[in-house]
Structure 1
Amino acid sequence: MQITLVDANLTISASNLLSATLRTDLVPVPTSLEFTVQDTEALKKALVLGAKVTVGEFGATFSLIKVMPLKTQTVKDDRRVGGIACVAIPEGCNRLIQAVDNAVILDQSSFNAAYRASGAKISLGSDLPLPEFICLKGSMPTQRLALYMQQEAAVMAFRNGKIGAYKIDALFKQEVAQKFDPSAVVWFNSDKLENMNKASYVSVDDDGATILGDGDTVSSQKIIQKAGLTSRQLKNMNKVLIQRGTILRPLTTTIQAGDLLEIESKNYIVLTAAHLVNTGALGGATATASKFWIGSL
């Protein structure tokens, strides 16, 4: 996994890289990078908060939001051997993980407009209409975006080099990225866990008497009342991607969250994709692997 520090024009060598995890999810900030390097003078100078980082041909430029020194008791060449642990998110998304200073209230807008109004300095590659968006002063934009994504039965995904908003139904209509044998999957078979992750949402209409929403639930499933939502929004909130299993494969960075997989003639969406590299530069085992969490409606 080739990691380059853009500002310093420095590529982290395999001898200095200890571990790296490139991750994609279906959340408001849908990709992140975590890596640990050896504590050298050049890297210590280059790895500062806000520094720009790229990963091979992944297509995203990341910005460091966490830089933490890791010290050991080993001494080499009169210096304590240690590392530097870093976390980075896509450049321009930093304000989305900070509480807003002013209220953001939009009407008949879009997810792209909500992103920009919340402080993001990027434009979405794929957009969807958004009837309203409210993020009060002191609220976290990512939490509010996640709420409205659920009301629109939508997810955020990093695709084709850009963050975009996508309908859940649209993800199942795309071309299959790859087919897997069922033996490659560690399946989750638990009705209790599924019921914990799914709920039915209801509301009361303006007349104060009509109940809106789907009351078709099992006895162990939650029913949650939400005020001020339409039947369409309540129906969307009932549409949930439930985790069905995990797949562990050799490093396969071509598969990302949001991709469609086919397993025994059934389609599943990649909920999370984590690509791991352990170089063993300071000893220990090396590893290169990808793990996918898959789900369906």
Structure 2
Amino acid sequence: MNVFLREGGDMIPTDVVVAWRNRSDLAPVPRTLEFTVKLIDGVEAKVKEGASVWGGRENLQYLIVKTDRSQPLGQVQGANQQQSMKVTALLHSCASIASARPMAVVQENTTFGAAYRACGAYAQIDNDFVVPRFSCFKGKIPSYPLVQVLQEEGAALVMRGGRIGAMRLADMAKQLPVDNIGQIDSSAMIASEYLQLQDVPMFYSTNAEASLVQGPSNQVRTVEFRPRTDVRRLRNASSVLVRSKTVDSTICQQILAGDVLQVAGENLIVITALHAFENLEGAQESRSRLWLGRLVNAV
């Protein structure tokens, strides 16, 4: 649960850090860091909004985007009442895509990485792919149109070794499991074809001849229109990861979003991995929670 104020040094003392959570996601911002600190020894001035911190198993740089100072705890240390503050930080290399654009970004025949960086990120994208057109208007948050591009490509962003790369969901599902949860499935589980048919739509568009083209339509689903989208991307847009299980475990920071776990003989993809530490009356508690899902191809 280390938090550094500069890369490789100036660590906030562990007895000052009350709680720590590092989240790995299949999202345009693939890492977030949340921690709670006691407001002693001038800590508040060092972790203010806009400052950078380093942390996590990969020791990545994060940008603080929110601080939330709590009410006094009712305890006195020296001459001051004890207070704590919650801090939320986003992966620094792509934090800008979570903020509204000061000007529009409109590109044609570009790549996902080029659109990603045009929206304010400075991370390179491995396994990049071509994007026929991309637009994010002034005042809009880039992460939403970036997710739409990934959806139409049937892909997601994964982060490994400090590098961000695009991976197709079909390839993700074919990976070998990094761990085996066990032969008995004791995870929390959600199963509802009813919700899937509502939440995973069938997409349609028009071609150059003004004829209708559509993705898979053998089931009665909700319907959405995507302008100027070919059949391949319409089909990809209806192939999604559906969260089905949640697993609590001892701390396992080596497991990240995009990994495959085997649960009772079934291979499932880690959609989100949360790793947490907490100081409780001098004792440290650590745990992980994994949100797992399977690839669903609409038919």
The TM-score, its normalising length taken from structure 2, stands at 0.91
In structure 2, the residue corresponding to 1:228 is in which secondary structure?
coil
AA of the residue aligned to 2:267: N
- The answer as to whether partners of 1:7 and 1:51 remain within 8 angstroms in 2 is no
What is aligned with 1:118?
119
| Alpha-carbon distance in 1 for matches of 2:288, 2:236 | 31
5+ residue gaps, structure 1:
none
Shift, 1:287, TM fit = 2.9
| Alpha-carbon distance in 1 for matches of 2:9, 2:51 | 11
| Alpha-carbon distance in 1 for matches of 2:127, 2:227 | 29
What is aligned with 2:175?
174
- The answer as to whether partners of 2:158 and 2:167 remain within 8 angstroms in 1 is yes
In structure 1, the residue corresponding to 2:27 is in which secondary structure?
coil
- The answer as to whether partners of 1:184 and 1:248 remain within 8 angstroms in 2 is no
- The answer as to whether partners of 1:25 and 1:31 remain within 8 angstroms in 2 is yes
Out of 206, 217, 221, which is 1:215 matched to?
217
Q: Does 1:255 align with 2:255?
A: yes
What is the alpha-carbon root mean square deviation over aligned residues? 2.0
AA of the residue aligned to 2:188: V
- Residues 254, 73 of structure 1: CA spacing in aligned structure 2 closer, same or farther, 3 A cutoff? closer
5+ residue gaps, structure 2:
none
What is aligned with 1:107?
108
In structure 2, the residue corresponding to 1:236 is in which secondary structure?
helix
In structure 1, the residue corresponding to 2:198 is in which secondary structure?
helix
Shift, 1:241, TM fit = 0.5
Matches within 5 A, 1:85-100: 85-100=86-101
| Alpha-carbon distance in 2 for matches of 1:137, 1:246 | 38
Matches within 5 A, 1:6-155: 6=6, 9-72=9-72, 74-76=74-76, 77-155=78-156
- Residues 178, 75 of structure 1: CA spacing in aligned structure 2 closer, same or farther, 3 A cutoff? closer
Q: Which moved more, 1:81-90 or 1:54-63?
A: 54-63
What is aligned with 2:288?
290
Shift, 1:193, TM fit = 2.9
The TM-score, its normalising length taken from structure 1, stands at 0.91
- The answer as to whether partners of 2:202 and 2:214 remain within 8 angstroms in 1 is no
Out of 202, 208, 211, which is 2:204 matched to?
202
- The answer as to whether partners of 1:203 and 1:229 remain within 8 angstroms in 2 is yes
